[in-house]
Each structure stands twice: as C-alpha cells, then as structure tokens.
Amino acid sequence: MWLHEVRGKSFPMAWDEAFTCDICGKTKMVANHWWMATLGDAACCDEGQPLRSFTLLPWNDSVSRNSDIYHLCGSSCATKALERFMTAGTLVLELPRPIRD
C-alpha cells in the first residue's frame, strides 16, 4: 500500500491513473469498448521468419497496468494496430523527424 506522510502521520494515497489509446491518443473514460494488445514471441514453422505474435485481448483493469500492454480505444484502433503490426512489426510508429535546413 502506498502511504503519504504529513506531519509525522501516514495516510493511504489514492491511485489515480489514466489510460490513453496507443494509436490515436484518446483518453479512456468510463466506456467499456476498449481493448488491449500485446506483442510477443511465437514459434514459426519456417526458418528465418520473425518470431513475433500479435494478441488482442478484451479490456481488463488489472492486466491493463502491465507495461507490455498496448491500450486500444475500440475496434477501429484495434484494426489499425493489427495493420501496423502486419506492415511494420510494431504498433507505435515513430513520428517523422522535421527536416532542418
């Protein structure tokens, strides 16, 4: 349990967390249509193939705190995540760097 000390007395701290969609940046409110995704290793049959897998999971409050989980605000962003995984092998794309003269 997290404790906050004030003037020599300890008080339990409230846990305030916000989740944002890793695809579009939307903040999670009370809606329950969110999904989670994780990337991991998978055994492939063909030699030389990347050992990666994409797993889509329904939202779970306790699992969502895992640092290996991607947060997705709905079916549209879940589909975009799968598309990114299939083309780039990742869900979060790096933003292009600005061109400097």
Higher pLDDT, 47 or 2: 47
Is the pLDDT score of 97 beyond 70? no
State mean pLDDT over 84-95.
81
Is the pLDDT score of 32 beyond 80? no
What is the C-alpha separation between 74 and 55, in angstroms, rounded?
A: 15
For the stretch 55-79, pLDDT in tens is 999 999 999 999 999 999 999 999 9
Give the start-to-end residue ranges of the domains of the chain.
17-88
The DSSP bridge partners found for residue 20 are 27
Do the strands 3-6 and 9-12 form a parallel or antiparallel pair, or are they unpaired? Answer: antiparallel
